[in-house]
Structure 1
Amino acid sequence: MGLAIDLNCDMGESFGAWKMGQDEDILPYVTSANIACGFHAGDAATMRKTVAAALRHGVALGAHPGLPDLVGFGRRNMDVSAQDVYDIVIIQVGALAAVAASQGGKLHHVKAHGALYNMAARNGELATAIAKAVHDIDSTLLLYALAGSVQVKAAEDMGLAVAQEVFADRSYQSDGSLTPRKQAGAMIEDPAISIKQVLRMVQEGKVATQQGSDVNVRADTLCIHGDQPDAVVFAQAIRKALGENGVQVRAI
């Protein structure tokens, strides 16, 4: 069987009068959507509209729970306990599941957002709290987690199916983590460089780090951030490059 990968995008991150992302334009190029659930971004109307748009395009629905930090867009670490994390994931995933049902859809996966995602990638207690919350809501849901991270093991230990995630527009550190956004070179802004990284991750299972070494990665699903200015350009170029290299793009 040939190579295949899911192409996911974070979206539904507008809030009130504040508009973010190019959701309608990027949906034709992705196969799964991670939809904000109101704590770091998104609101009730945005959730409904984004779910409906994803369903129109045949894109798999995912809940994208984050820390309760609208001002910081969920990208600031918070001193939260495992119980805190369990509770906020339960509420957010439950809310989006209800919105999906109202539109005739069903959740396919859960992917933590921003700081919560990165904290859980290295903190076993928080990773387990996320996995338990997802399992308690619906044990058939997939959990998207940073490839090779602590969160992958926690989810597998909980009996969840896991999609190991790699990133098209982020650089990596030698421990397999993503380069913090405050550091130079954290975001890859050149589509050609992004495509080179993507193809190597998919075809070879390796990614170059900022330290010059390679780390092994398993690429089940590939993330493109919908909030970057050239997200649609990236999505178009990556989708085209994958097809030209014989990689099938499909939801898991």
Structure 2
Amino acid sequence: MTKTVDLNCDMGEAFGAYTIGDDAAMLEIISTANVACGFHAGDPVVMRDTILAAKAQGVSIGAHPSFMDLYGFGRRRVMGDKPEDLEAQIIYQIAAIDGMARALGWPISHMKTHGALGNMAAEDPVLAEVCVRAVVAVNPKLVVVALPYSEIMKAAEKAGLEVVCEVYADRTYTADGMLTPRSQEGAVIKDHAQSVDQALAMVRDGYIPTTAGTKLPVEAGSICVHGDTPGAVATAKDLREAFIKEGIAIAPFARN
């Protein structure tokens, strides 16, 4: 049986007069798109256009909620004091794209947290449960895309939700399997060859190379390239070609 992996990208992050990333080019390469829901990036028009573009390419889509932090692109830790308020915000975002996608005939398949929300939910079991409750409230059939060794993966599995393990081609990992904080040197991999080597190690060889020099076992179901990383489209092309060369097919983990 041919081994397959999903290749995903965070997109729909433009808003108003501002353009971020080359979504059109990326949609010709990837199999799944995580679409911003308007809180850290995106707006209703961008959301609509991204969904329609993904539909035209047959690319699966999902909700990519974050903190209400347009100024900081969702990469600041601005959760607030009440977890129930954050839960409402996540429900709002998932419901927004779910409604837009249904209206356009290309329903969402999954939820993946963005930025600081995702990093915090990976480590905080209370926050992880908040995110999972929001998914259940909107649609318990949605797949939760989560980091390996993360609290959100544990919370989703405990809630009986389908989970897909996601790894990153353009980010380095600490010894405990978490993403290296962006504040640290080398957190973002900008070299295409290094990204490809790391991706192959995780998908083909089944381990995450860490900054400590250790190898953590992993069963990767999806691999992500950030759309706003410099050279993202070229990296995605290199990844796709490398996987195909290794006999690994690119396919969405879920169909719309």
Q: CA deviation at 1:203?
A: 1.7
Partner of 2:68: 68
Q: Give the alignment's Cα RMSD to 1 decimal.
A: 0.9
Partner of 2:120: 119
Alpha-carbon distance in structure 1 between the residues aligned to 2:184 and 2:95: 34
> After superposition, what is the alpha-carbon deviation per residue over 1:186-222, rounded to whole angstroms, capped at 9, x for unaligned?
0111111111111110122111111111112220110
Q: Which amino acid aligns with 2:142?
A: L
Alpha-carbon distance in structure 2 between the residues aligned to 1:152 and 1:218: 13
Q: Secondary structure at the match of 1:239?
A: helix
Alpha-carbon distance in structure 2 between the residues aligned to 1:187 and 1:59: 25
Partner of 1:2: 2
Match runs of 1:27-176 below 5 Å: 27-80=27-80, 81-176=82-177
Partner of 2:189: 188
Per the normalisation by structure 1, the TM-score is 0.98
Alpha-carbon distance in structure 2 between the residues aligned to 1:79 and 1:233: 34
Alpha-carbon distance in structure 1 between the residues aligned to 2:123 and 2:191: 29
Aligned residues: 252
Partner of 2:11: 11
> After superposition, what is the alpha-carbon deviation per residue over 1:139-188, rounded to whole angstroms, capped at 9, x for unaligned?
11101011121110100111110011000000000010001111100011
Alpha-carbon distance in structure 2 between the residues aligned to 1:129 and 1:205: 30
Per the normalisation by structure 2, the TM-score is 0.96
Q: Secondary structure at the match of 2:181?
A: coil
Q: CA deviation at 1:5?
A: 0.7
Q: Secondary structure at the match of 1:93?
A: helix
Structure 1 gaps of 5+ residues are none
Match runs of 1:188-207 below 5 Å: 188-207=189-208
The answer (yes or no) to whether the contact 1:85–1:126 under 8 Å persists in 2 is no
Distance 1:205 1:68, change over 3 A: same
The answer (yes or no) to whether the contact 1:171–1:188 under 8 Å persists in 2 is yes
Counting aligned pairs with the same residue, the percent is 45
Structure 2 gaps of 5+ residues are none
Alpha-carbon distance in structure 2 between the residues aligned to 1:30 and 1:210: 27
Q: CA deviation at 1:2?
A: 2.8
Moved over 4 A (4+): none
Q: CA deviation at 1:79?
A: 3.7
The answer (yes or no) to whether the contact 1:148–1:218 under 8 Å persists in 2 is no
Alpha-carbon distance in structure 2 between the residues aligned to 1:232 and 1:28: 10
